[in-house]
Structure 1
Amino acid sequence: MQITISPSTECLIPSLRTYLDADLNDPPIFATNHSLVFRANSQRFRSIVAIKIINRKALPQHVAEKFLTRELDVTRKVRHPHLLKCLLINSSSPSKIVIVSEYCARGTLLQMILTEGNIKETPTGARLFRQLIEAVQYLHARGVIHRDIKLENIFLDANGDLKLGDFGFSRQFEKGQRSTSFCGTRPYSAPQVVTYQPYDGYAADWYSVGIVLYTMIVGNWPKEPKLNVALNFPPDSPTHACRRLIARLLDDDENRRAGFEECLYSEWLAPQSNWMFADANFAYTVLQHT
């Protein structure tokens, strides 16, 4: 389907070509009702980049004032190997905001699952899951909840490494504070969010992580969860250790739900011992054995 570019965006593109020293000749690679995303080779950043052009006028006023402001604030602040890296934000136009970020050549985790069916638990599944929980923990340690962790917001770079992105629903949040903004994406939302109860945003993020892990390994959505009813798994996958971790992440009780530490030292992830931490804050690499 052909994506229509508005006249105001057409007028903006030549200046972006000059500013970014980029070709920017191809049509958009993605579109929503309020934004377009382009892929371009930028000489300014000496790499291929993703250029997101947001049309403020297409957003409801409360969204532009509340959620967009938060998105830009979080996008500017965060820096982690497994968070999508923002290279530049330009809001000089009265109606447009331009966000330039690193380009992830392998698309989204959703695209990977649709192509491959599912992801093997080890080594790929464990590696990607470890990268995801490191990204989530980095945000949480800085008082930021994501609130829209899903396969479509998880990207894969040219090396196959994971990058969590899209901070449209993210916000700073105090520990112990309850959220009453019932945002996110339904299949990934914790029971408290779905039933419009004040919820712990940190615990809700970990519930979404559990849905991502289930879908990655199984290749299908879990059936609509019901209170006090055990999860359904295919007979041959995943392993029991992985099932137990998923069940802990999808615990109905947000006070009992697993978090970073339990994931890290779980019987499923802990045996993957070939991790070497390069920095006490967050950075690590996997040791390759030949």
Structure 2
Amino acid sequence: MMEQDLKMMEQDLKACYSIEENFDTNYKMLNTLGEGKFSVVKRAFHVPTSTSVAVKILQNTKEYTSPICREARIMKSLSHPNIIKLFHVVQRREITYLVMEYASEGELQDRIIKVGSLEESETRRLFAQIVHAVQYCHDHHIVHRDIKASNILIDCRGNAKLCDFGLAAEVIPGQKLAGFCGTLPYCAPELLQAVKYEGPPVDIWSLGVLLFLMLSGNLPFQGRSFVDLKQEIISANFSIPSHVSIDISNVIIELLMINPSRRPTIHQIMRHPMIRGSEACLPPTSTQISQAPQATALSGP
């Protein structure tokens, strides 16, 4: 039975990914950029084009085959200047490699930790770019479900890039999702209440948490235990620092509405003066992107 399961898993993977025999000679692995429960992300040098890329290395376990296929399929379908681009997918017997655009300035989380909090002007610019990325996802029926500062990368031009679609879901209007996922301090109340939920409002709540963090240097919900943190989130118990300007404070309050139906849609956020008044400065296609390996055709199950 185990041998049969293994063969089925290999068939699923072959349907989703290309196999490149000379992967090891084309890419020189360098330093580790980040690690997760089932993956590690490394910076690599693409020898044929002399280009730096990021390579997400995933273990091909039986239970993780479908999520890997989904993540690759979703990333392949997205093309936006504020979303990390997937260039190439390589499948081996035990490992899958996602070759992606490299953002040289690292995670937004690290920048916030380094400086304490961002200047309001920088927050407005970066947040506008992130909203543009989320709008693109929602317009293409994709919900991210794990928007957080460590999943926002900064490229060499100082522009924001949404990354890590490992928990993303493809949805149709009105479709309800189920099950807890994401990072607890960023999770919307409905995720903690064992009820089916709509995907887009979950991303909107996470944007509110992110905006609060960018300006204050702290998360709005900081319970000392899981129970305390859960209660703070469910009751939306937070206090905006006094130095935050009124227009941004109002945005945070709107995004962190307990009732998901009362949260603005991503298009309503786009019309807010805070976003309209910010120069999103969408980055043009960089030399790095144009030279990097092209994404291969992926077919999902």
State the TM-score, normalizing by the size of structure 2: 0.79
Distance 1:229 1:188 in 2: 12
The 3 A distance-change label for structure 1 pair 185 and 228 is: closer
Distance 1:56 1:133 in 2: 33
| Alignment-derived partner of residue 162 in structure 2 | 164
CA distance in 2, matches of 1:129, 1:94: 40
Structure 1 stretches of 5 or more lacking a match? 1-13, 277-282, 286-290
Classify the secondary structure of the residue corresponding to 2:40.
Answer: strand
Q: 1:28 to 1:15 in 2, by over 3 A?
A: farther
Partner of 1:117: 116
Q: Secondary structure of 2:106's match?
A: coil
The residue type equivalent to 1:231 in the other structure is F
2:34 to 30, 35, 59: 30
Question: What is the 5 A alignment of 1:68-217?
Answer: 68-91=68-91, 93-122=92-121, 124-217=122-215
Could you tell me which residue of structure 2 aligns to residue 279 of structure 1?
none
Distance 1:172 1:226, change over 3 A: closer
Q: Is the 8 A contact 2:125 2:280 kept in 1?
A: no
Distance between the aligned counterparts of 1:228 and 1:99, measured in 2? 39
- Return the offset for 1:15: 4.6
Please say if residues 135 and 267 of structure 2, whose CA atoms lie closer than 8 Å, have aligned partners that are also in contact.
Answer: no
Distance 1:45 1:228, change over 3 A: same
Match of 1:218 among 192, 216, 219: 216
State TM-score, norm by structure 1: 0.81
Q: 1:271 to 1:52 in 2, by over 3 A?
A: closer
Q: Distance in 2 between matches of 1:232 and 1:134?
A: 27
1:245 Cα deviation from its structure 2 partner? 0.4
Is the alpha carbon distance of 1:219 and 1:164 closer, same or farther for their aligned partners in structure 2, counting shifts above 3 Å?
same
Report the Cα offset of residue 271 of structure 1.
2.7
State whether residues 257 and 263 of structure 2, in contact with CA within 8 Å, keep that contact through their aligned partners in structure 1. Answer: yes
| Compared CA separation, residues 162 and 55, structure 1 to 2 (3 A) | same
Aligned counterparts of 2:235 and 2:199: Cα–Cα separation in 1: 22
- Could you tell me how far apart the structure 1 residues matched to 2:28 and 2:176 are? 46
Deviation at 1:32, TM superposition (A): 3.0
- State the SS of the aligned residue for 1:221: coil
Distance 1:110 1:275, change over 3 A: closer
- 1:142–1:127 CA distance, 2 compared to 1 (3 A): same
Secondary structure of 1:50 counterpart: strand
Range moving further from structure 2, 67-76 or 205-214: 67-76
Paired letter, 2:273: E
Q: 1:192 to 1:16 in 2, by over 3 A?
A: same
Instruction: Return the alpha-carbon distance in structure 2 between the equivalents of residues 275 and 121 of structure 1.
Output: 14
- Count how many residue pairs are aligned between Structure 1 and Structure 2: 255
Give the residue type in structure 1 aligned to 2:32. P
Change (3 A) 1:240 1:41: same
Partner of 1:288: none
* Matched-pair identity in %: 28
- Give the structure with the higher percent helix: 2
Q: Distance in 1 between matches of 2:45 and 2:123?
A: 31
Judge which range, 48-57 or 31-40, deviates more.
31-40
- Which is further off, 222-231 or 35-44? 222-231
Hey, what's the Cα distance between the residues in 1 that align with 2:171 and 2:236? Answer: 31
Q: Amino acid of the residue matched to residue 207 of structure 1?
A: W
- CA 1:275–1:98 in 2, change beyond 3 Å: closer, same or farther? closer
Amino acid at match of 2:111: M
Q: Are the aligned partners of 2:236 and 2:257 in contact in 1 as well (CA < 8 Å)? A: no
Provide closer, same or farther for how the CA distance between residues 235 and 129 of structure 1 changes in structure 2, counting only shifts above 3 A. Answer: same
Q: Which structure 2 segments of 5+ residues have no match?
A: 1-20, 222-228, 285-301
In 2, distance between residues paired with 1:170 and 1:127?
25
Deviations 1:190-244 (A, max 9, x none): 10001121111011111111111110111101035455666301222x1111010
